[in-house]
Amino acid sequence: MLELYDGSLSVASILKDWYEEEASSNYGAFISFVGTVRSEDGIDGLSFDIYEPILNKWFDEWQKKAKAKGAIIKMAHSRGDVMLHESSYIAAVFSPKRRVALEFIDEYVEDFKASAPIWKYDLRDNKRIYAKERSTAIKGSGLLSDSKDKEEQR
């Protein structure tokens, strides 16, 4: 299940819902990761753009991988502005036994950072500034650049 919200996440309520949804599903382990906006470099908060069609596909692929291990994943993310000490991201894995969930949450959150089509901006003095230095180029980037063209000709 993938949930997108405008603004910050109601962490306690989302985690409660997820816990209750799976309370009798016979999962022995439930591991969650909550991402919270920290006060850093004088920012007022963060802001996010999301491209949903590709995010949905990315999530569905991970859900398939989880199911193959008898597990399920859930995710919630914010659109728009999220201020300091509020949360913008929750990922969770439910699995029959702990090892699968512990390993899966690591792989799934890391790939999320590297591949999910979400763009982050710092909020500073009422401006929205793309967090370029903290962003990761998606695998296969540069397809349309000249240097790529030259590489192919070599």
Partner 1 sequence: MVRVEFLGPIQRETMELDIANLNELATILKDDQEMQEWLENSAVAVNDTLVNNRDFALTSGDRVSLLPPVCGG
Please give the residue ranges that form the binding site for partner 1 (CB under 8 A). 35, 48-51, 53-54, 57, 77, 88-89, 109, 112-121, 130-132, 134-149, 152
Tell the smallest beta-carbon distance from residue 57 to partner 1 (Å): 7
Pick 26 or 147: Cβ nearer partner 1: 147
Pick 64 or 132: Cβ nearer partner 1: 132
Query: What residues contact 116, with CB distance under 8 A and at least 6 apart?
Result: 55, 58, 59
Tell the smallest beta-carbon distance from residue 18 to partner 1 (Å): 18
What are the E-state strand segments in 37-117? 45-50, 72-83, 87-95
Pick 69 or 120: Cβ nearer partner 1: 120
Tell the smallest beta-carbon distance from residue 102 to partner 1 (Å): 19
Pick 9 or 66: Cβ nearer partner 1: 9
Tell the smallest beta-carbon distance from residue 25 to partner 1 (Å): 26
Measured in degrees and rounded to the nearest 5, phi and psi for residue 35 equal: -100, 125
- CA-nearest of 117, 124, 119 to 39 is 124
**One-letter identity of residue 15:** L
**85 vs 100: CA distance, rounded Å:** 30
Pick 27 or 46: Cβ nearer partner 1: 46
Tell the smallest beta-carbon distance from residue 56 to partner 1 (Å): 9
Query: What residues contact 18, with CB distance under 8 A and at least 6 apart?
Result: 30, 32, 74, 92
